[in-house]
Amino acid sequence: MIKRILKAFLFLALLMPGLVNGQQKSENIEALKVSVEPLIKMSLTEVKNLVPPGSGMFFIGCPNCNGGAQEMGVLNWEPGMGDEVKCKFCSMTFPNEKYPNNGEKVIIAPSGTEQVYRYYQNGQGTQYFYEAHAWFDRWKWIQQMAVQLSKVWSQTKDPAYGDRAALIAGRFAQLFPDYAIRYDYPNAPKKFFPANQKWPYEGLVPYRGAKWNWWAYGDIPLQIAITYDNLQQGNYDWSRMDSQIGKLTDQRIVKDLLISGYEFTAANPEIYTNMSPGMYRDMVRIGRILNRPDIVHDGVNRFKEFLKLGFFADGWWKEGTVSYHDQTIGGLESVAKEAKGYTDPADWKGERFENLDLTDAMPFYKSALNVSQQAIFPNGHKLPLNDTWANRATPVKTSGISVSRLWPSLGNAALAAGTGKDQTLLNINWSGNYGHSHYDNASIILFANGAELLSDIGYTHSKYRGWTLHTASHNTVVIDQKAQEQGTVAKPVTGRLKYYDDQNPHVKVVDLDASPAYSMAGEYRRRLIFVHVAEGRDYVIDRFDVEGGETHDWFLHGMCEEEGKLETSISMDRPVKTLVPEWGGTGVPRNQYDSDMIGKKIHAYSYMKDIRAATGNKPWTATWNYQNSGLRTHLIPQADTQIFSFRAPSVRLAAEDDNKLDSFMRLGIMQRHTGTKSSFIAIHEPFQSKPWIKSVRAEGDTYLIDYEMNGKIIQDKVSLNGNSIGIISSAGWKYNKGKAHSGLLKGIEMLNGKWNLELDSDLRDISHIRLDFPDGSSLYFPAKHISGKFIQMDNDPGFSMKKDGKVRFYTFPHNEYSEPVRYTVFNSSK
Ligand SMILES: [Zn+2]
Ligand SMILES: [Zn+2]
The model's confidence at residue 391, banded by pLDDT at 50, 70 and 90, is confident
Pairing of strands 523-534, 609-616: unpaired
The ligand whose atoms approach the alpha carbon of 90 most closely is 1
461/69 Cα distance (integer angstroms):
6
Please tell me the number of the ligand nearest to residue 386's CA: 2
CA of 449 to the centre of ligand 2 (A): 22
* Mean pLDDT calculated for residue range 190-206: 97
Which pLDDT band, with edges at 50, 70 and 90, does 696 fall under? very high
Average pLDDT over residues 551-576: 97
- pLDDT tens per residue across span 468-521: 999 999 999 999 999 999 988 888 899 999 999 999 999 999 999 999 999 999
Could you tell me the distance, in angstroms and rounded to a whole number, from the CA of residue 588 to the centre of ligand 1?
Answer: 21
Distance (angstroms) between ligand 1 centre and the Cα of 658 equals: 12
Establish how many alpha carbons lie within 13 A of residue 796's alpha carbon, considering only the half-sphere containing its beta carbon: 20
Instruction: Encode 296-326: b = buried (16+ Cβ within 10 Å), e = exposed.
Output: bbbbbebbeebbeebbbbbbbbbbbbbbbbb
Q: Is the predicted pLDDT of residue 624 greater than 70, yes or no?
A: yes
Residue 367 predicted with pLDDT over 90: no
Nearest to 186 by CA among 80, 296, 269, 73: 73
Query: In which band, very low, low, confident or very high, does the pLDDT at 617 lie, cut at 50, 70 and 90?
Result: confident
Pairwise CA distance, residues 160 & 223, whole Å: 19
CA of 70 to the centre of ligand 1 (A): 13
Whether omega before 492 lies within 30 degrees of 0, making that bond cis, reads no
Q: What is the pLDDT of residues 45-94, one digit of tens each?
A: 999 999 999 999 999 999 999 999 989 999 999 999 999 999 999 999 99
**Residues whose CB is less than 8 angstroms from the CB of residue 503 and which lie 6 or more positions away in sequence, other chains included:** 767, 828, 829
Q: Please report which ligand is nearest the Cα atom of 91.
A: 1
Q: Is the separation of the CB atoms in 403 and 418 below 8 Å?
A: no
Distance between Cα 87 and ligand 1 center (Å): 5
Taking residues 731-753, what's their average pLDDT? 93
Mean pLDDT along residues 226-252: 98
Half-sphere exposure for 473 (CA within 13 Å, toward CB):
30
pLDDT score of 722 more than 80: yes
Give the span between the Cα atoms of 389 and 393, in whole angstroms.
8
Distance 389 CA to ligand 2 centre (A): 10
| Per-residue model confidence (pLDDT) at position 308 | 86
Could you tell me the distance, in angstroms and rounded to a whole number, from the CA of residue 106 to the centre of ligand 1? Answer: 27
Strands (E), 421-535: 424-429, 443-448, 451-454, 477-479, 496-501, 507-513, 523-534
CA neighbor of 171 nearest in space, from 139, 204, 207: 139
Average of pLDDT values for 665-694? Answer: 97
pLDDT (tens digit per residue) in 112-148: 999 999 999 999 999 999 999 999 999 999 999 999 9
Q: How far is the CA of 228 from the centre of ligand 2 (A)?
A: 45
- Computed over every residue of the chain, the mean pLDDT equals 94
135 Cα to the center of ligand 1, angstroms: 19
How far, in Å, is the centroid of ligand 2 from the Cα of 385?
A: 6
For 286-335, write each residue's pLDDT tens digit.
999 999 999 999 999 999 999 889 999 999 999 999 999 999 999 999 99
Query: pLDDT at residue 532 above 60?
Result: yes
Distances (CA, A) of 43 to 37, 38, 80, 242: 12, 10, 15, 16
d(CA 555, CA 486): 20
Cis peptide before 95 (omega within 30 of 0): yes
**Residue 586 alpha carbon to ligand 1 centre in Å:** 27
Q: Residue 660: what pLDDT? A: 97
Question: What's the rounded mean pLDDT across residues 731-746?
Answer: 95
Burial string for 486-512 (b: 16+ CB within 10 Å, else e) reads ebeeeebbbbbbbbbbbbbebbbbbbb
Half-sphere exposure of 93 (CA within 13 A, CB side): 6
Residues near 538 by beta carbon (within 8 Å), at least 6 away in sequence = 417, 418, 424, 448, 530, 531, 532, 686
CA of 458 to the centre of ligand 1 (A): 26
Q: Which of 390, 476, 387 is nearest to 435 (CA)?
A: 387
The ligand whose atoms approach the alpha carbon of 73 most closely is 1
Ligand 2 midpoint to CA 429 (Å): 9
pLDDT band at 226 (very low <50, low <70, confident <90, very high): very high
Among the listed residues 375, 273, 393, 278, the one whose alpha carbon sits nearest the alpha carbon of residue 11: 273
> Residue 827's pLDDT band (boundaries 50, 70, 90)?
confident
Q: How far is the CA of 382 from the centre of ligand 2 (A)?
A: 13
What is the full DSSP assignment across 640-677? TEEEEEEEEE--GGGTT-GGGGGG-EEEEEEEEEESSE
Distance in angstroms between the alpha carbons of the first and the last residue of the chain: 54
Give the distance (Å) from ligand 1 centre to CA of residue 118. Answer: 19
Q: pLDDT class for 577, splitting at 50, 70, 90? A: very high
Q: Is 322 helix (H, G, I), strand (E, B) or coil?
A: helix
**Residue 696 C-alpha to ligand 2 middle, in angstroms?**
30
pLDDT band at 752 (very low <50, low <70, confident <90, very high): confident
Percent of the chain with pLDDT over 70: 96
CA 458 / ligand 2 centre spacing (Å): 5
Give yes or no for residue 426 having a pLDDT over 90: yes
Q: Going by DSSP bridges, is the β-strand pair 114-121/496-501 parallel, antiparallel, or unpaired?
A: unpaired
Dist. CA 384 → ligand 2 center (Å): 7
User: What residues contact residue 371 under an 8 Å CB cut-off, 6+ apart?
Assistant: 314, 315, 316, 325, 407, 410
| pLDDT for 19 beyond 80 | no
Give the model's pLDDT for residue 26: 52
- pLDDT value of position 393: 82
Helix (H) or strand (E) holding 699: strand 693-699
How far is ligand 2, taken at its centre, from the CA of residue 584, in Å?
Answer: 22
Distance 86 CA to ligand 1 centre (A): 8
Surrounding ion ligand 1 within 5 Å at CB are 62, 64-65, 67, 87, 89-90
Q: Which ligand is nearest to the CA of 438?
A: 2
Q: Collapse the DSSP code of 153 into the 3-class scheme (helix H, G, I; strand E, B; otherwise coil) and give the result.
A: helix
Distance 63 CA to ligand 1 centre (A): 7
What's the pLDDT band for 638 if we cut at 50, 70, 90? Answer: very high
DSSP assignment string, 767-817: SEEEEE-TTS-EEEEE--EEETTEEE-SS--SEEE-TT--EEESSTT--EE
The separation between CA 570 and the C-alpha centre of its own chain, rounded to angstroms, equals 39
Q: Are strands 677-687 and 537-547 parallel, antiparallel or unpaired?
A: antiparallel
How far does residue 65's CA lie from ligand 1's centre (Å)? 4
Residue 231's alpha-carbon distances to 146, 238, 261, 282, in angstroms, are: 11, 9, 20, 19
CB 775 within 8 A of CB 787: no
How many other C-beta atoms are found inside a 10 Å radius of the C-beta of residue 816? 9
pLDDT band at 828 (very low <50, low <70, confident <90, very high): low
